[in-house]
Amino acid sequence: MIKEIQRVSSAVQSRLPRIVDRNGITLAGTEVPPGTIVGMSLHQVHHDPKIFPSPEVFNPERWLGDNAKRLENYYVPYSRVGRQCLAVS
């Protein structure tokens, strides 16, 4: 239930900025040069219907069974390692 609560109502309301490293990256077929500031919105990720079907529905059961492992790839309530919320560690 906790994961679904955090998915629906993220504690982080701003974008999570990162700087593209010296190798650059390709995002959705677009080349992004080194030094570019990119960011993502946790709300957009956690409410993407391609990842979380019926994202507006509070459904703790979505985190059960085989589906849970797939969803973990997109579950980022506090950012990721290196810039994580201090309260997590």
* Rounded-to-integer distance, Cα 44 and Cα 74, Å: 11
Determine if residue 85 is labeled as part of a ligand binding site. yes
Q: How far apart are CA 62 and CA 52, in angstroms?
A: 8
Beta carbons within 10 angstroms of residue 47's beta carbon: 15
**Residue 32 · residue 38 · CB < 8 Å:** yes
Annotated binding site for heme: 85
Annotated binding site: 85
